Amino acid sequence: MAKAMARHILVKTEAEAASLKARIAKGEAFDVLAKKHSTCPSGKRGGDLGEVRPGQMVHVIDQIIFKKAVREIHGPVKSAFGYHLVQVFYRD
């Protein structure tokens, strides 16, 4: 079965997610921003979701983790929880 390692940042607004994505693009550390801004419990771990399998995450996040390019920052993506930035480390 497929599995992947990913991390994400979850915030309330699209504007906040876009701002954080711009800060990451300028060189700020994803994990530091996740610890400071993410509303998800994974924020304490720098946004680390650990190893996930298809179907474990909400559908829109699942689609990114298992279908989009590895190592890029994807988002902002809206879910019922808010807006996400997602980065996939590996997938097999």
Q: Classify domain 4-91 by CATH number.
A: 3.10.50.40
Strands 73-79 and 48-52: unpaired
Q: What is the pLDDT of residue 32?
A: 98
Q: What is the pLDDT of residue 73?
A: 97
* Domain assignments of the chain as residue spans, ordered by start: 4-91
CB-CB contact of 75 with 85 (8 Å): yes
The pTM of the whole model exceeds 0.75:
yes
Instruction: Please state the φ and ψ torsions of residue 28, each to the nearest 5 degrees.
Output: -70, 150
pLDDT one digit per residue (tens) for the chain, 92 residues:
899 999 999 999 999 999 999 999 999 999 999 999 999 999 999 999 999 999 999 999 999 999 999 999 999 999 999 999 999 999 99
Instruction: Please state the φ and ψ torsions of residue 84, each to the nearest 5 degrees.
Output: -115, 150
Query: Residue 48: helix, strand or coil by DSSP?
Result: strand
